[in-house]
Structure 1
Protein backbone atom coordinates (compact mmCIF):
# COMPACT_ATOMS: atom_id res chain seq x y z
CA UNK A 1 0.00 0.00 0.00
CA UNK A 2 1.32 3.40 -0.99
CA UNK A 3 0.06 6.87 -0.19
CA UNK A 4 0.94 9.80 -2.44
CA UNK A 5 -0.08 13.41 -2.85
CA UNK A 6 -0.76 15.90 -5.64
CA UNK A 7 0.57 19.44 -5.35
CA UNK A 8 -1.05 21.76 -7.86
CA UNK A 9 1.40 24.34 -9.30
CA UNK A 10 -0.46 27.42 -8.10
CA UNK A 11 2.04 28.98 -5.69
CA UNK A 12 5.17 30.96 -6.47
CA UNK A 13 8.21 28.81 -5.76
CA UNK A 14 9.68 31.25 -3.23
CA UNK A 15 6.30 32.08 -1.68
CA UNK A 16 5.14 28.72 -0.38
CA UNK A 17 5.70 26.53 -3.43
CA UNK A 18 9.02 25.04 -2.37
CA UNK A 19 7.76 24.48 1.16
CA UNK A 20 4.92 22.26 -0.07
CA UNK A 21 7.28 19.82 -1.75
CA UNK A 22 9.55 19.74 1.27
CA UNK A 23 6.55 19.09 3.51
CA UNK A 24 5.38 16.23 1.28
CA UNK A 25 8.79 14.59 1.71
CA UNK A 26 8.83 15.24 5.45
CA UNK A 27 5.38 13.69 5.86
CA UNK A 28 6.54 10.50 4.18
CA UNK A 29 4.44 10.42 1.01
CA UNK A 30 5.63 7.88 -1.55
CA UNK A 31 5.28 10.27 -4.53
CA UNK A 32 4.39 13.92 -4.97
CA UNK A 33 2.70 14.51 -8.32
CA UNK A 34 1.52 17.62 -10.11
CA UNK A 35 -0.85 18.22 -13.00
CA UNK A 36 0.70 18.88 -16.40
CA UNK A 37 -1.61 21.54 -17.85
CA UNK A 38 -1.35 25.05 -19.24
CA UNK A 39 -4.26 25.94 -16.97
CA UNK A 40 -7.01 23.91 -15.34
CA UNK A 41 -10.74 24.44 -14.80
CA UNK A 42 -11.50 26.76 -11.87
CA UNK A 43 -7.84 27.76 -11.60
CA UNK A 44 -7.79 29.22 -15.11
CA UNK A 45 -7.86 32.87 -13.98
CA UNK A 46 -5.24 32.47 -11.29
CA UNK A 47 -1.57 31.50 -11.02
CA UNK A 48 -0.57 28.25 -12.69
CA UNK A 49 3.05 27.23 -13.29
CA UNK A 50 4.61 24.71 -15.68
CA UNK A 51 4.91 21.11 -14.55
CA UNK A 52 8.41 20.32 -15.81
CA UNK A 53 10.15 23.40 -14.34
CA UNK A 54 8.24 22.94 -11.07
CA UNK A 55 9.22 19.28 -10.81
CA UNK A 56 12.83 20.11 -11.70
CA UNK A 57 12.92 22.63 -8.86
CA UNK A 58 11.29 20.07 -6.55
CA UNK A 59 13.90 17.50 -7.56
CA UNK A 60 16.64 19.89 -6.50
CA UNK A 61 14.95 20.73 -3.20
CA UNK A 62 14.12 17.17 -2.11
CA UNK A 63 16.18 14.03 -1.59
CA UNK A 64 13.98 10.93 -1.26
CA UNK A 65 10.41 11.41 -2.41
CA UNK A 66 9.45 10.30 -5.90
CA UNK A 67 8.08 12.96 -8.25
CA UNK A 68 5.67 12.72 -11.15
CA UNK A 69 2.96 14.09 -13.41
CA UNK A 70 -0.75 13.18 -13.23
CA UNK A 71 -0.96 13.42 -16.14
CA UNK A 72 0.94 14.60 -19.20
CA UNK A 73 -0.89 14.38 -22.55
CA UNK A 74 -0.36 15.08 -26.27
CA UNK A 75 -2.61 18.16 -26.06
CA UNK A 76 0.37 20.52 -26.16
CA UNK A 77 3.33 18.13 -26.16
CA UNK A 78 5.47 16.46 -28.84
CA UNK A 79 7.32 13.23 -28.04
CA UNK A 80 10.72 14.49 -29.24
CA UNK A 81 10.86 17.62 -27.09
CA UNK A 82 9.11 15.91 -24.17
CA UNK A 83 11.65 13.08 -24.15
CA UNK A 84 14.54 15.54 -23.83
CA UNK A 85 12.85 17.26 -20.89
CA UNK A 86 12.05 13.95 -19.18
CA UNK A 87 15.58 12.61 -19.49
CA UNK A 88 16.86 15.84 -17.97
CA UNK A 89 14.30 15.71 -15.16
CA UNK A 90 15.10 12.08 -14.45
CA UNK A 91 18.76 13.02 -14.22
CA UNK A 92 18.24 16.01 -11.91
CA UNK A 93 16.04 13.92 -9.62
CA UNK A 94 18.54 11.08 -9.44
CA UNK A 95 16.07 8.64 -10.97
CA UNK A 96 13.04 9.59 -8.86
CA UNK A 97 10.64 10.55 -11.64
CA UNK A 98 7.45 8.80 -12.87
CA UNK A 99 5.60 9.99 -15.95
CA UNK A 100 1.84 9.87 -15.60
CA UNK A 101 0.52 10.08 -19.15
CA UNK A 102 -2.83 9.88 -20.90
CA UNK A 103 -4.71 10.84 -24.05
CA UNK A 104 -5.80 14.25 -22.73
CA UNK A 105 -9.21 15.85 -22.66
CA UNK A 106 -11.23 18.75 -24.03
CA UNK A 107 -10.24 21.45 -21.56
CA UNK A 108 -8.23 24.61 -22.12
CA UNK A 109 -5.09 22.72 -23.14
CA UNK A 110 -6.96 21.22 -26.08
CA UNK A 111 -7.29 24.54 -27.91
CA UNK A 112 -4.56 26.76 -26.44
CA UNK A 113 -2.29 26.24 -29.45
CA UNK A 114 -5.02 27.39 -31.82
CA UNK A 115 -6.31 24.02 -32.96
CA UNK A 116 -9.82 22.64 -32.71
CA UNK A 117 -10.33 20.23 -29.84
CA UNK A 118 -9.77 16.65 -30.97
CA UNK A 119 -12.60 14.15 -30.84
CA UNK A 120 -12.27 11.18 -28.47
CA UNK A 121 -11.23 9.00 -31.42
CA UNK A 122 -8.63 11.55 -32.57
CA UNK A 123 -7.22 11.73 -29.03
CA UNK A 124 -7.00 7.94 -28.89
CA UNK A 125 -5.37 7.78 -32.32
CA UNK A 126 -2.77 10.36 -31.36
CA UNK A 127 -2.06 8.77 -27.99
CA UNK A 128 -1.66 5.41 -29.69
CA UNK A 129 1.17 6.91 -31.76
CA UNK A 130 2.58 9.27 -29.13
CA UNK A 131 3.29 6.70 -26.41
CA UNK A 132 5.17 4.10 -28.50
CA UNK A 133 7.35 6.83 -29.99
CA UNK A 134 8.06 8.30 -26.56
CA UNK A 135 9.00 4.82 -25.34
CA UNK A 136 11.54 4.52 -28.17
CA UNK A 137 12.93 8.00 -27.58
CA UNK A 138 13.57 7.19 -23.92
CA UNK A 139 15.22 3.83 -24.59
CA UNK A 140 17.13 4.22 -27.87
CA UNK A 141 20.11 6.55 -28.46
CA UNK A 142 18.84 7.76 -31.85
CA UNK A 143 15.34 7.50 -33.30
CA UNK A 144 13.97 8.11 -36.76
CA UNK A 145 10.26 7.51 -37.21
CA UNK A 146 7.57 8.84 -39.54
CA UNK A 147 4.01 8.71 -38.23
CA UNK A 148 0.63 10.15 -39.11
CA UNK A 149 0.86 12.67 -36.26
CA UNK A 150 4.37 12.57 -34.77
CA UNK A 151 7.73 12.09 -36.44
CA UNK A 152 11.37 12.07 -35.38
CA UNK A 153 14.48 12.41 -37.52
CA UNK A 154 17.71 11.22 -35.89
CA UNK A 155 16.42 12.42 -32.53
CA UNK A 156 19.24 11.77 -30.07
CA UNK A 157 18.71 11.32 -26.36
CA UNK A 158 22.09 10.38 -24.94
CA UNK A 159 22.86 9.28 -22.31
CA UNK A 160 19.28 8.15 -21.73
CA UNK A 161 17.42 7.85 -18.44
CA UNK A 162 19.01 7.23 -15.06
CA UNK A 163 16.27 4.64 -14.51
CA UNK A 164 16.72 1.68 -16.85
CA UNK A 165 15.59 0.83 -19.40
CA UNK A 166 13.68 4.11 -18.98
CA UNK A 167 11.71 6.06 -16.40
CA UNK A 168 8.37 4.42 -15.50
CA UNK A 169 5.07 5.26 -17.20
CA UNK A 170 1.81 5.48 -15.23
CA UNK A 171 -0.71 5.22 -18.06
CA UNK A 172 -4.18 6.75 -17.66
CA UNK A 173 -6.75 5.05 -19.85
CA UNK A 174 -10.12 3.49 -19.14
CA UNK A 175 -11.11 2.55 -22.69
CA UNK A 176 -9.95 -0.59 -24.50
CA UNK A 177 -7.17 1.16 -26.42
CA UNK A 178 -5.87 3.00 -23.37
CA UNK A 179 -5.78 -0.17 -21.32
CA UNK A 180 -3.95 -2.01 -24.07
CA UNK A 181 -1.33 0.75 -24.02
CA UNK A 182 -1.07 0.48 -20.24
CA UNK A 183 -0.61 -3.29 -20.53
CA UNK A 184 2.05 -2.86 -23.21
CA UNK A 185 4.01 0.15 -21.96
CA UNK A 186 2.97 0.90 -18.39
CA UNK A 187 4.67 0.24 -15.12
CA UNK A 188 1.50 1.58 -13.51
CA UNK A 189 -2.11 2.32 -14.47
CA UNK A 190 -3.95 5.34 -13.09
CA UNK A 191 -7.65 6.22 -12.90
CA UNK A 192 -9.91 8.83 -11.35
CA UNK A 193 -12.94 6.54 -11.46
CA UNK A 194 -15.90 6.63 -13.82
CA UNK A 195 -16.77 10.22 -14.83
CA UNK A 196 -20.24 9.12 -15.96
CA UNK A 197 -21.32 8.63 -12.33
CA UNK A 198 -19.43 11.53 -10.78
CA UNK A 199 -22.56 13.61 -10.15
CA UNK A 200 -25.29 11.02 -9.62
CA UNK A 201 -23.60 7.80 -8.52
CA UNK A 202 -23.17 6.36 -5.05
CA UNK A 203 -19.94 5.22 -3.42
CA UNK A 204 -20.91 1.61 -4.16
CA UNK A 205 -21.64 2.53 -7.79
CA UNK A 206 -18.15 3.96 -7.95
CA UNK A 207 -16.50 0.91 -6.46
CA UNK A 208 -18.41 -1.34 -8.85
CA UNK A 209 -17.23 0.79 -11.78
CA UNK A 210 -13.66 0.54 -10.52
CA UNK A 211 -14.02 -3.23 -10.21
CA UNK A 212 -15.00 -3.25 -13.86
CA UNK A 213 -12.03 -1.11 -14.85
CA UNK A 214 -9.63 -3.38 -12.97
CA UNK A 215 -11.17 -6.44 -14.62
CA UNK A 216 -10.74 -4.90 -18.08
CA UNK A 217 -7.15 -4.01 -17.23
CA UNK A 218 -6.57 -7.62 -16.24
CA UNK A 219 -8.00 -8.77 -19.57
CA UNK A 220 -5.77 -6.35 -21.48
CA UNK A 221 -2.73 -7.62 -19.58
CA UNK A 222 -3.67 -11.22 -20.32
CA UNK A 223 -3.97 -10.42 -24.03
CA UNK A 224 -0.51 -8.81 -23.87
CA UNK A 225 0.85 -11.90 -22.08
CA UNK A 226 1.64 -9.81 -19.05
CA UNK A 227 0.93 -10.39 -15.37
CA UNK A 228 -1.36 -7.61 -14.13
CA UNK A 229 0.47 -7.75 -10.80
CA UNK A 230 3.43 -6.13 -12.56
CA UNK A 231 1.46 -2.87 -12.81
CA UNK A 232 0.86 -0.57 -9.88
CA UNK A 233 -2.79 0.54 -9.76
CA UNK A 234 -3.14 4.20 -8.78
CA UNK A 235 -6.37 5.91 -7.75
CA UNK A 236 -6.35 9.71 -7.92
CA UNK A 237 -8.99 10.83 -5.43
CA UNK A 238 -11.34 13.78 -5.70
CA UNK A 239 -13.30 12.65 -8.75
CA UNK A 240 -15.55 9.87 -7.45
CA UNK A 241 -19.11 10.42 -6.12
CA UNK A 242 -17.73 10.34 -2.56
CA UNK A 243 -15.04 12.82 -3.56
CA UNK A 244 -15.10 14.69 -0.22
CA UNK A 245 -15.08 11.59 1.98
CA UNK A 246 -11.34 10.83 2.00
CA UNK A 247 -10.44 14.22 3.48
CA UNK A 248 -13.18 14.59 6.10
CA UNK A 249 -11.23 12.87 8.84
CA UNK A 250 -8.51 10.31 9.40
CA UNK A 251 -11.11 7.61 10.07
CA UNK A 252 -13.01 8.51 6.89
CA UNK A 253 -9.84 8.21 4.85
CA UNK A 254 -8.87 4.88 6.40
CA UNK A 255 -12.34 3.53 5.55
CA UNK A 256 -12.16 4.89 1.99
CA UNK A 257 -8.62 3.69 1.38
CA UNK A 258 -9.24 0.28 2.89
CA UNK A 259 -12.18 -0.37 0.56
CA UNK A 260 -10.13 0.63 -2.48
CA UNK A 261 -7.01 -1.27 -1.50
CA UNK A 262 -9.28 -4.33 -1.18
CA UNK A 263 -10.38 -3.78 -4.78
CA UNK A 264 -6.78 -4.12 -5.92
CA UNK A 265 -5.40 -0.59 -5.90
CA UNK A 266 -1.83 -0.32 -4.68
CA UNK A 267 -1.48 3.47 -4.45
CA UNK A 268 -3.88 6.26 -3.52
CA UNK A 269 -3.09 9.91 -4.24
CA UNK A 270 -4.72 12.78 -2.34
CA UNK A 271 -4.54 16.48 -3.14
CA UNK A 272 -2.64 18.83 -0.88
CA UNK A 273 -5.25 21.27 0.46
CA UNK A 274 -5.82 24.58 -1.32
CA UNK A 275 -8.14 26.96 0.58
CA UNK A 276 -11.28 28.27 -1.12
CA UNK A 277 -11.11 25.75 -3.99
CA UNK A 278 -12.51 22.32 -4.81
CA UNK A 279 -9.50 20.95 -2.95
CA UNK A 280 -10.05 22.80 0.32
CA UNK A 281 -9.45 20.54 3.32
CA UNK A 282 -8.29 20.64 6.91
CA UNK A 283 -4.48 20.77 6.98
CA UNK A 284 -4.38 18.83 10.24
CA UNK A 285 -6.44 16.01 8.70
CA UNK A 286 -4.14 15.99 5.66
CA UNK A 287 -1.06 15.63 7.84
CA UNK A 288 -2.64 12.93 10.02
CA UNK A 289 -3.57 10.96 6.91
CA UNK A 290 0.02 11.19 5.71
CA UNK A 291 1.56 10.08 9.00
CA UNK A 292 -1.03 7.70 10.50
CA UNK A 293 -3.26 6.17 7.83
CA UNK A 294 -0.97 3.46 6.48
CA UNK A 295 -0.20 2.30 9.99
CA UNK A 296 -3.90 1.80 10.67
CA UNK A 297 -4.49 0.11 7.34
CA UNK A 298 -1.70 -2.42 7.88
CA UNK A 299 -3.08 -3.70 11.19
Structure 2
Protein backbone atom coordinates (compact mmCIF):
# COMPACT_ATOMS: atom_id res chain seq x y z
CA UNK A 1 0.00 0.00 0.00
CA UNK A 2 1.34 3.40 -0.98
CA UNK A 3 0.69 6.84 0.52
CA UNK A 4 1.43 10.40 -0.59
CA UNK A 5 3.88 10.65 -3.48
CA UNK A 6 4.11 6.84 -3.62
CA UNK A 7 5.63 6.47 -0.15
CA UNK A 8 5.25 3.04 1.38
CA UNK A 9 2.51 2.94 4.03
CA UNK A 10 2.84 0.84 7.16
CA UNK A 11 -0.09 -0.07 9.39
CA UNK A 12 -0.60 2.53 12.13
CA UNK A 13 0.15 1.70 15.74
CA UNK A 14 -3.01 1.40 17.83
CA UNK A 15 -3.30 2.91 21.29
CA UNK A 16 -6.14 3.40 23.74
CA UNK A 17 -7.40 6.15 26.03
CA UNK A 18 -8.17 5.03 29.59
CA UNK A 19 -10.78 6.51 31.94
CA UNK A 20 -9.40 7.55 35.38
CA UNK A 21 -12.82 7.32 37.00
CA UNK A 22 -12.81 4.07 38.97
CA UNK A 23 -11.17 2.96 42.20
CA UNK A 24 -7.56 1.94 41.67
CA UNK A 25 -7.81 -1.85 42.00
CA UNK A 26 -10.36 -1.83 39.17
CA UNK A 27 -8.41 0.73 37.12
CA UNK A 28 -5.22 -1.26 37.61
CA UNK A 29 -6.86 -4.32 36.10
CA UNK A 30 -7.88 -2.27 33.06
CA UNK A 31 -4.30 -1.04 32.53
CA UNK A 32 -2.96 -4.60 32.81
CA UNK A 33 -5.63 -5.74 30.37
CA UNK A 34 -4.67 -3.01 27.89
CA UNK A 35 -1.13 -4.35 27.89
CA UNK A 36 -2.33 -7.93 27.47
CA UNK A 37 -4.46 -6.91 24.49
CA UNK A 38 -1.37 -5.55 22.75
CA UNK A 39 -1.97 -1.80 22.62
CA UNK A 40 1.18 0.13 21.79
CA UNK A 41 0.34 2.90 24.28
CA UNK A 42 -2.33 3.59 26.89
CA UNK A 43 -3.09 7.28 27.42
CA UNK A 44 -4.98 9.21 30.07
CA UNK A 45 -6.57 12.65 29.86
CA UNK A 46 -5.10 15.25 32.21
CA UNK A 47 -8.01 17.04 33.89
CA UNK A 48 -9.48 17.77 37.28
CA UNK A 49 -12.88 17.09 35.75
CA UNK A 50 -13.51 16.31 32.09
CA UNK A 51 -16.73 17.76 30.70
CA UNK A 52 -17.83 18.03 34.33
CA UNK A 53 -17.39 14.30 35.00
CA UNK A 54 -16.23 13.32 38.49
CA UNK A 55 -14.53 11.50 40.05
CA UNK A 56 -11.62 12.14 37.71
CA UNK A 57 -8.39 10.91 39.24
CA UNK A 58 -5.06 12.70 38.75
CA UNK A 59 -3.35 11.74 35.49
CA UNK A 60 0.22 11.70 36.79
CA UNK A 61 -0.58 9.71 39.91
CA UNK A 62 -2.54 7.28 37.75
CA UNK A 63 0.41 6.91 35.37
CA UNK A 64 2.80 6.19 38.25
CA UNK A 65 0.51 3.40 39.41
CA UNK A 66 0.01 2.14 35.85
CA UNK A 67 3.78 2.07 35.33
CA UNK A 68 4.10 -0.24 38.32
CA UNK A 69 1.53 -2.77 37.06
CA UNK A 70 2.67 -2.92 33.42
CA UNK A 71 6.02 -3.75 31.87
CA UNK A 72 5.93 -3.42 28.06
CA UNK A 73 3.26 -0.98 26.92
CA UNK A 74 4.05 2.72 26.68
CA UNK A 75 1.98 5.09 28.81
CA UNK A 76 1.30 8.79 28.57
CA UNK A 77 -0.84 11.88 29.00
CA UNK A 78 -3.18 12.92 26.22
CA UNK A 79 -2.57 15.71 26.99
CA UNK A 80 -0.98 17.51 29.96
CA UNK A 81 -2.88 20.74 30.63
CA UNK A 82 -1.27 24.09 31.49
CA UNK A 83 -4.68 25.07 32.92
CA UNK A 84 -3.58 23.92 36.37
CA UNK A 85 0.02 22.67 36.08
CA UNK A 86 3.32 24.53 36.35
CA UNK A 87 6.26 23.08 34.38
CA UNK A 88 8.53 22.65 37.43
CA UNK A 89 6.42 20.17 39.46
CA UNK A 90 5.26 18.60 36.19
CA UNK A 91 8.89 17.93 35.21
CA UNK A 92 9.58 16.40 38.64
CA UNK A 93 6.63 14.01 38.27
CA UNK A 94 7.56 13.17 34.66
CA UNK A 95 11.12 12.18 35.60
CA UNK A 96 9.81 10.01 38.42
CA UNK A 97 7.28 8.20 36.24
CA UNK A 98 9.89 7.72 33.53
CA UNK A 99 12.07 5.94 36.10
CA UNK A 100 9.19 3.86 37.51
CA UNK A 101 8.19 2.76 34.01
CA UNK A 102 11.73 1.99 32.87
CA UNK A 103 11.56 4.60 30.12
CA UNK A 104 8.06 3.93 28.74
CA UNK A 105 6.52 7.39 29.24
CA UNK A 106 5.44 9.82 26.52
CA UNK A 107 4.22 13.24 27.63
CA UNK A 108 1.39 14.68 25.57
CA UNK A 109 1.05 18.45 25.93
CA UNK A 110 -1.71 20.77 24.74
CA UNK A 111 -2.82 24.36 25.24
CA UNK A 112 -5.64 23.37 27.58
CA UNK A 113 -9.31 23.91 26.84
CA UNK A 114 -11.34 27.02 27.59
CA UNK A 115 -14.38 25.26 29.12
CA UNK A 116 -15.02 25.67 32.84
CA UNK A 117 -16.35 22.11 33.00
CA UNK A 118 -12.91 20.85 31.97
CA UNK A 119 -10.87 22.91 34.43
CA UNK A 120 -10.23 26.17 32.56
CA UNK A 121 -9.76 28.99 35.02
CA UNK A 122 -9.92 26.84 38.15
CA UNK A 123 -6.85 28.55 39.64
CA UNK A 124 -8.66 31.87 39.56
CA UNK A 125 -7.69 35.13 37.90
CA UNK A 126 -8.81 36.56 34.55
CA UNK A 127 -9.81 34.16 31.79
CA UNK A 128 -7.06 33.60 29.22
CA UNK A 129 -7.69 34.91 25.74
CA UNK A 130 -6.92 32.54 22.84
CA UNK A 131 -3.75 34.56 22.19
CA UNK A 132 -2.60 34.27 25.80
CA UNK A 133 -3.48 30.57 25.93
CA UNK A 134 -1.31 29.94 22.86
CA UNK A 135 1.55 32.02 24.28
CA UNK A 136 1.39 30.16 27.60
CA UNK A 137 1.41 26.84 25.74
CA UNK A 138 4.55 27.79 23.84
CA UNK A 139 6.38 28.97 26.95
CA UNK A 140 5.21 25.93 28.95
CA UNK A 141 6.68 23.53 26.38
CA UNK A 142 9.91 25.51 26.12
CA UNK A 143 10.48 25.47 29.88
CA UNK A 144 9.55 21.80 30.28
CA UNK A 145 12.06 20.91 27.57
CA UNK A 146 14.81 22.75 29.44
CA UNK A 147 13.86 21.22 32.80
CA UNK A 148 13.89 17.65 31.50
CA UNK A 149 17.21 18.07 29.72
CA UNK A 150 18.79 19.58 32.87
CA UNK A 151 20.97 19.33 34.83
CA UNK A 152 19.99 22.76 36.23
CA UNK A 153 17.52 25.28 34.91
CA UNK A 154 16.93 28.97 35.56
CA UNK A 155 14.30 30.61 33.38
CA UNK A 156 12.30 33.82 33.46
CA UNK A 157 9.33 33.97 31.12
CA UNK A 158 6.22 36.07 30.73
CA UNK A 159 4.09 33.42 32.46
CA UNK A 160 6.37 30.79 34.02
CA UNK A 161 9.71 30.97 35.78
CA UNK A 162 12.19 28.58 37.36
CA UNK A 163 15.18 29.28 39.59
CA UNK A 164 18.13 26.92 39.95
CA UNK A 165 15.98 23.80 39.46
CA UNK A 166 18.23 20.75 39.69
CA UNK A 167 17.03 17.81 37.66
CA UNK A 168 19.99 15.38 37.73
CA UNK A 169 20.20 12.52 36.96
CA UNK A 170 17.48 13.35 34.45
CA UNK A 171 15.22 11.02 32.52
CA UNK A 172 15.78 7.37 31.67
CA UNK A 173 15.00 8.28 28.06
CA UNK A 174 17.63 10.56 26.53
CA UNK A 175 17.91 13.41 25.99
CA UNK A 176 14.50 13.51 27.69
CA UNK A 177 11.04 11.93 27.72
CA UNK A 178 9.46 12.31 24.24
CA UNK A 179 6.74 14.93 23.73
CA UNK A 180 3.47 14.44 21.85
CA UNK A 181 2.34 17.96 20.95
CA UNK A 182 -1.36 18.62 20.29
CA UNK A 183 -2.15 21.66 18.20
CA UNK A 184 -3.73 22.41 14.84
CA UNK A 185 -2.86 26.11 14.69
CA UNK A 186 0.41 27.65 13.47
CA UNK A 187 1.94 27.84 16.96
CA UNK A 188 0.99 24.27 17.83
CA UNK A 189 2.38 22.99 14.54
CA UNK A 190 5.61 24.90 15.09
CA UNK A 191 5.96 23.47 18.60
CA UNK A 192 5.41 19.95 17.29
CA UNK A 193 8.03 20.47 14.60
CA UNK A 194 10.53 21.92 17.06
CA UNK A 195 10.01 19.77 20.17
CA UNK A 196 7.74 16.84 19.33
CA UNK A 197 8.42 13.19 18.69
CA UNK A 198 4.71 13.04 17.90
CA UNK A 199 1.93 15.41 16.85
CA UNK A 200 -1.67 14.88 17.98
CA UNK A 201 -4.87 15.88 16.20
CA UNK A 202 -8.59 15.25 16.65
CA UNK A 203 -10.83 14.88 13.59
CA UNK A 204 -13.77 16.53 15.31
CA UNK A 205 -15.70 19.69 14.56
CA UNK A 206 -15.20 19.42 10.79
CA UNK A 207 -17.82 18.75 8.12
CA UNK A 208 -15.28 16.58 6.29
CA UNK A 209 -12.92 15.02 8.89
CA UNK A 210 -10.71 13.41 6.27
CA UNK A 211 -10.18 16.63 4.36
CA UNK A 212 -9.45 18.45 7.62
CA UNK A 213 -6.82 15.92 8.68
CA UNK A 214 -5.26 15.88 5.20
CA UNK A 215 -4.90 19.68 5.32
CA UNK A 216 -3.38 19.59 8.81
CA UNK A 217 -0.87 16.93 7.81
CA UNK A 218 0.26 19.11 4.91
CA UNK A 219 0.65 22.10 7.21
CA UNK A 220 2.64 20.01 9.67
CA UNK A 221 5.02 19.07 6.86
CA UNK A 222 5.40 22.78 6.08
CA UNK A 223 6.11 23.55 9.76
CA UNK A 224 8.76 20.82 9.85
CA UNK A 225 10.39 22.22 6.73
CA UNK A 226 10.46 25.69 8.29
CA UNK A 227 12.19 24.25 11.36
CA UNK A 228 14.69 22.26 9.29
CA UNK A 229 13.15 19.01 10.52
CA UNK A 230 12.51 15.91 8.46
CA UNK A 231 8.69 15.46 8.56
CA UNK A 232 9.22 11.69 8.77
CA UNK A 233 10.79 12.19 12.22
CA UNK A 234 7.43 13.28 13.70
CA UNK A 235 4.80 10.61 14.27
CA UNK A 236 1.18 11.64 13.69
CA UNK A 237 -1.47 10.49 16.18
CA UNK A 238 -5.17 10.71 15.32
CA UNK A 239 -7.46 10.70 18.38
CA UNK A 240 -10.74 9.12 17.30
CA UNK A 241 -14.26 9.30 18.69
CA UNK A 242 -15.08 12.95 18.05
CA UNK A 243 -15.91 13.03 14.33
CA UNK A 244 -18.90 10.72 14.06
CA UNK A 245 -16.91 8.17 12.06
CA UNK A 246 -17.73 4.52 12.95
CA UNK A 247 -14.30 3.55 14.26
CA UNK A 248 -15.51 0.81 16.63
CA UNK A 249 -18.69 -0.17 14.81
CA UNK A 250 -16.92 -3.25 13.42
CA UNK A 251 -13.44 -4.54 12.74
CA UNK A 252 -14.04 -3.93 9.04
CA UNK A 253 -15.04 -0.30 9.65
CA UNK A 254 -11.93 0.25 11.72
CA UNK A 255 -9.70 -1.32 9.08
CA UNK A 256 -11.22 0.85 6.35
CA UNK A 257 -10.80 4.08 8.32
CA UNK A 258 -7.32 3.18 9.57
CA UNK A 259 -6.19 2.40 6.03
CA UNK A 260 -7.59 5.65 4.69
CA UNK A 261 -5.85 7.78 7.31
CA UNK A 262 -2.63 5.78 7.08
CA UNK A 263 -2.46 6.56 3.37
CA UNK A 264 -2.66 10.27 4.29
CA UNK A 265 0.30 9.90 6.66
CA UNK A 266 -1.25 9.10 10.05
CA UNK A 267 1.11 6.77 11.94
CA UNK A 268 -0.84 6.24 15.18
CA UNK A 269 -4.52 5.88 16.06
CA UNK A 270 -6.04 6.14 19.54
CA UNK A 271 -9.42 4.62 20.43
CA UNK A 272 -11.24 5.02 23.74
CA UNK A 273 -11.65 2.13 26.13
CA UNK A 274 -15.38 1.22 25.97
CA UNK A 275 -17.34 3.07 28.63
CA UNK A 276 -20.86 1.65 29.08
CA UNK A 277 -23.71 4.11 29.32
CA UNK A 278 -21.85 6.86 27.48
CA UNK A 279 -21.17 7.88 23.89
CA UNK A 280 -17.84 6.05 24.29
CA UNK A 281 -19.46 2.63 24.62
CA UNK A 282 -18.51 -0.08 22.13
CA UNK A 283 -18.66 -3.82 21.64
CA UNK A 284 -15.76 -5.20 23.67
CA UNK A 285 -15.21 -7.95 21.12
CA UNK A 286 -14.64 -5.39 18.39
CA UNK A 287 -12.39 -3.37 20.70
CA UNK A 288 -10.25 -6.41 21.50
CA UNK A 289 -9.99 -7.36 17.84
CA UNK A 290 -8.85 -3.81 17.02
CA UNK A 291 -6.21 -4.02 19.76
CA UNK A 292 -4.87 -7.21 18.21
CA UNK A 293 -4.03 -5.27 15.05
CA UNK A 294 -1.30 -3.45 17.00
CA UNK A 295 0.07 -6.53 18.74
> TM tier, shorter chain?
over 0.9
- TM-score relative to the length of structure 2: 0.93
User: Relative to total residues, which structure has the larger helix share, 1 or 2?
Assistant: 1
Map 1:96-175 to 2 at 5 A.
96-107=104-115, 108-175=118-185
**Could you list the runs of 5+ residues in structure 2 that have no partner in the other structure?**
1-11
- 1:143 aligned counterpart, secondary structure: strand
Q: 2: distance between equivalents of 1:64 and 1:159?
A: 23
Q: 1: distance between equivalents of 2:77 and 2:228?
A: 27
Corresponding residue of 1:33: 43
Corresponding residue of 1:284: 285
Corresponding residue of 1:213: 216
Partners of 1:138 and 1:166 within 8 A in 2: yes
- 1:37 aligned counterpart, secondary structure: coil
Partners of 1:222 and 1:228 within 8 A in 2: yes
Q: Following TM superposition, by how much is the alpha carbon of 1:115 offset from its aligned partner in structure 2, in angstroms?
A: 2.9
Q: 1: distance between equivalents of 2:155 and 2:119?
A: 26
Q: 2: distance between equivalents of 1:69 and 1:128?
A: 18
Q: 1: distance between equivalents of 2:204 and 2:229?
A: 25
78, 83, 86: which is aligned to 1:70? 78
Partners of 2:39 and 2:294 within 8 A in 1: no
Q: 2: distance between equivalents of 1:87 and 1:46?
A: 28
Map 1:1-299 to 2 at 5 A.
1-14=12-25, 16-41=26-51, 44-107=52-115, 108-195=118-205, 197=206, 201=207, 205-242=208-245, 245-291=246-292, 293=293
Q: Following TM superposition, by how much is the alpha carbon of 1:194 offset from its aligned partner in structure 2, in angstroms?
A: 4.8
Q: Deviations over 1:40-90 (max 9, x none)?
A: 01xx24321000010100000001000001001211011111100100010
Partners of 2:111 and 2:183 within 8 A in 1: yes
- Report the number of matched residues: 282
Q: Following TM superposition, by how much is the alpha carbon of 1:117 offset from its aligned partner in structure 2, in angstroms?
A: 2.9
Partners of 1:87 and 1:138 within 8 A in 2: yes
- 2:85 aligned counterpart, secondary structure: coil
**Moved >6 Å (runs of 4+):** none
- 1:247 aligned counterpart, secondary structure: coil
Q: Deviations over 1:153-193 (max 9, x none)?
A: 00111110000000000000100011001000001000012
- TM-score relative to the length of structure 1: 0.92
Q: 2: distance between equivalents of 1:207 and 1:116?
A: 37
**Could you list the runs of 5+ residues in structure 1 that have no partner in the other structure?**
none
Q: 2: distance between equivalents of 1:116 and 1:20?
A: 39
Q: Following TM superposition, by how much is the alpha carbon of 1:114 offset from its aligned partner in structure 2, in angstroms?
A: 1.9
- 2:157 aligned counterpart, secondary structure: coil
